[in-house]
Amino acid sequence: MPKAVFPAEMKNLESMIAFIREGAEKLDFDKMTLSQLHLACEEVLVNIINYAYPDKEGSIEINCKPGQEQLRIEIVDSGIPFRPLDIPEPDINLPLEERSPGGLGIFMMRKIMDQVSYTRDQGRNILTMAKGKQP
């Protein structure tokens, strides 16, 4: 089970995404699904980078669990409690001039992934996402 820990900084986003893409290789996803996985993971990682550690430095742990038919990705941080499943869905029918900036990333992550679950354990946020090969 490939696992990696990164400082929660924007400059490491590219390396984190590369690590996840590597973990996805075994499953031979099509190009579109890989791009969607990239998007879903970026949205989660960027939330942690921007908000999890408001007054200290912290880290992000990523576990990739490639199975036969699906890829499970676990993203763990020790920052402030944040339950992405509680974020209200944005109204995507609103014209652009009336939109507010938040919520779109997590909304798309939830649309893309087949399963998303969250637990808070011993001061850690643990987000587990799964994406199967079949739509």
Partner 1 sequence: MDLKVSIANENGIAKITLAGTLDAANAPGFQEELKKLIGQNIQKLVFFAKDLAYISSAGLRIIIFAKQKIGVEAQLYLIGGQEAVLNVIKMSGLDNFMTIQDDYTE
By CB under 8 A, the residues from 24 to 53 that bind partner 1 are 31-32, 35-36, 38-39, 42-43, 46, 49
Interface map 52-91 toward partner 1 (x if CB under 8 A): ----------------------------------------
Which amino acid, one-letter code, is at 64? Answer: C
For residue 11, state whether it binds partner 1 (rule: CB under 8 A): yes
CA distances from 113 to 9, 38, 39, 124, 127 (A): 24, 11, 10, 22, 12
CA torsion 2-20-6-107 (nearest 10°) is -130
Q: For residues 3 and 111, which CB has a smaller minimum distance to partner 1 in the complex?
A: 111
Of 12-20, 72-80, 115-123, 126-134, which segment contacts partner 1 by CB under 8 A?
12-20
Q: For residues 28 and 97, which CB has a smaller minimum distance to partner 1 in the complex?
A: 97
CB of 84 to partner 1, least distance (A): 13
As a whole number of angstroms, the distance between CA 40 and CA 109 comes to 4
As a whole number of angstroms, the distance between CA 40 and CA 111 comes to 9
As a whole number of angstroms, the distance between CA 64 and CA 119 comes to 17
Q: Which residues bind partner 1 (CB under 8 A)?
A: 10-11, 13-14, 17, 31-32, 35-36, 38-39, 42-43, 46, 49, 92-97, 99, 101, 104-105, 107-108, 111-112
